[in-house]
Copies of this chain bind each other. A is one copy, B any other.
Amino acid sequence: MTIKRETLRKDFPILDRKVNEEPLLYLDNAATLQTPNQVLKKITEFYQKSHANVHRGVYTLAQEATQAYEQVREQVAAFIHAANAHEIVYTRSTTESLNLVASSFGELVVQEGDEILLTIMEHHSNLIPWQQLAKRKKAILKYVPLTVDQTLDVHAFKQQLTEKTKIVALAQTSNVLGVTNPVKKLVELAHQQHAYVVVDAAQTVAHHALDVQDLNVDFLAFSGHKMGAPTGIGVLYGKSELLKAMPPIQFGGEMIENVTKTTATWQPAPWKFEAGTPNIGGVIGLGAAIDYLNHLEMSWIAATEKKLMMHLLPELQKIEGLTIYGPQTVERHEGIVTFNLAHIHPHDVATGLDMLGVEVRAGHHCAQPLMAALGVESTVRASLSFYNSIAEMDRFVYALKMVKEFFNHESE
C-alpha cells in the first residue's frame, strides 16, 4: 500500500467531483467516511483472485478466502488492542452490533426491576435496542443528563448508578456534540456496581487510537464505513467470557456445529454469531481500511483533525446569530460541530450550502432525545476528516455567511 500524506486526497477521487457546479466540499464525514482507492482496489483484487465462500470448503480457493477473512479478525483485534481475535464478531454495522448485545446479552442478564443506564446523548442505535429491551423485561431505563456546558454530567452518572444497574450503554463520542466521554473512568464506576458497559465507538474509531483492554469495556461497537471501509461491515468487540455466555440470535450456515431434526449445537464465539455467508468482501475492505489508517497513523489523524477544528471553531463563533451546541472549546470537539443560525431552519441552511457544493447534515442526527434536551427540533452538523483542508474550512465559513445573508436579506 502506498500512501503519502501530502497527496492523500488523490486516494479519494470523489473529492474531485462537482456538486451543483461547485467543487464538492464533503463535511458529512460523521455519517460515512469516503473510501480510499486502496480499499476499493483490495476488494476488487480479492474478487478477481480469491473469492470463495469461507469456512466451507477443503479446497485451496476456499482456504485462501477463509484465511484472508480470519486474518482481518487478527488485524481488528490488534487495531483496538483486544486480547484475542476471538473477541471480534463481524456484524453489518454499529447498529447491528448494539442490537446483538441487547438481544442476546441484554436478554440474558436484565431482569424485571433492573436498571439500564443510558446517556441522553445516545444515537438511536444505542437507545432503542435498550428501550425495547427494558419494555420486554419491565426494566427501568435511566438517562444521564447534560451539564450546563452540554457535556455528560459525570456527577449525575455516579448518582444514577445503583446496585440495580445491570447495563450502562454510552457513546464514546457523541455524533452531535462531538464530545468524547471519559469512558475509562465511567467503566470503573460502573464495574464497582457490577454493571456491564457497552460502548458505541462509531464516532471514535476513525479519529483516535482505541485500547479496549485499557478502557476495560465489556462490549464495544463500531462500523467499517465510518473508517474508510465499505458499508455493510461492522464489529462487535466483547470480552471472551461474555461472548461465550451469549446465545446466538441468527441461525444457519456455518455457525452450526451439529444438527438433528430437533436439536442443534453451535460453534464457539465469534463464529456462532456469524450465521450465513458473511460480508467477506466487506471484511477484506475493513482490513485494507485499517492498513490505510495505520499507515497514516492515528496520532497524525487526531492532530490533523484538531488543527482543522482549531481553525474552524473560532471562525464559526464569530458569526452573529450562530449557536454552537456542546462545549465551546476546540479541545472538546472531536471533528464534529453542530449549530443553528438564528431564524433560519437547518434544512434551509443545508440546501443553501448544498447549492454552494458544501455537504452538511441537517436534522435530528438520529438523536431525538438529545434534540429535546437541547430544546431544538433539528440542527446543522458539519463533521470533518483528515482529508479536509484549512482552505476548505475557510470556504465553508464563507459559504455559511453567504447563505445567512441570502435568507436574512431576502426576508427583510
Closest partner residue, chain B, to A28 (CB atom): B57
Q: Do A282 and B13 touch (CB < 8 A)? A: no
Which B residues touch A35, using CB under 8 A?
47, 51
Taken together as a complex, chains A and B put the C-alpha atoms of A377 and B257 apart, in Å, by 14
Query: Is there an interface contact between A279 and B62, defined as CB atoms closer than 8 Å?
Result: no
Contact indicator per residue, chain A 267-292, by CB within 8 Å of chain B (1) or not (0): 00000000111111110000000000
B-contacting residues, A210-261, CB 8 Å:
223, 225, 230-234, 249-254, 256, 258-261
> Given B57, B258, B361, which contacts A350 in the complex, CB threshold below 8 Å?
B57
The answer, yes or no, to whether A366 is at the interface (CB within 8 Å) is: yes
| Least CB distance, A58 to chain B, in whole angstroms | 5
Q: How far is the CA of A87 from the CA of B30 in the complex (A)?
A: 31
Q: Would you list the 7 A-B pairs with minimal beta carbon distance, nearest first? A: A95-B276, A232-B279, A125-B252, A128-B251, A31-B53, A93-B276, A59-B354
A95→B277 contact, CB < 8 A: yes
- State whether A231 touches B277 (Cβ < 8 A): yes
Interfacial residues, chain A to chain B (CB-CB below 8 A): 13-14, 17, 19-20, 24, 26, 28, 31-32, 34-35, 37, 40, 43-44, 47-53, 56-62, 92-96, 98-99, 103, 123-129, 131-132, 141, 143, 223, 225, 230-234, 249-254, 256, 258-264, 275-282, 347, 350-351, 353-354, 359-363, 366, 368-369, 372
10 A-B pairs within 8 Å (CB atoms) are namely: A59-B351, A93-B253, A94-B277, A95-B276, A99-B249, A124-B251, A124-B252, A125-B276, A231-B282, A260-B372
Copies of the polypeptide in the assembly: 2
The answer on a CB contact under 8 Å between A57 and B359 is yes
Q: Kindly list chain B residues whose C-beta atoms are within 8 Å of the C-beta of A96.
A: 250, 275-276
A88 nearest CB across to chain B (Å): 17
**B residues in contact with A20, CB < 8 Å:** 60
Residues of B within 8 A of A262 (CB): 131, 141
CB distance from A270 to the nearest CB of B (A): 16
Contacts of A34 in B (CB 8 A): 47, 51
B128 and A94 contacting across the interface, CB-CB below 8 Å:
no
Contact of A92 among B61, B98, B251, B276 (CB under 8 A): B276
- Chain B residues whose C-beta falls within 8 Å of the C-beta of A260 in the assembled complex: 368-369, 372
Would you call A232 and B92 a contact (CB within 8 A)?
yes
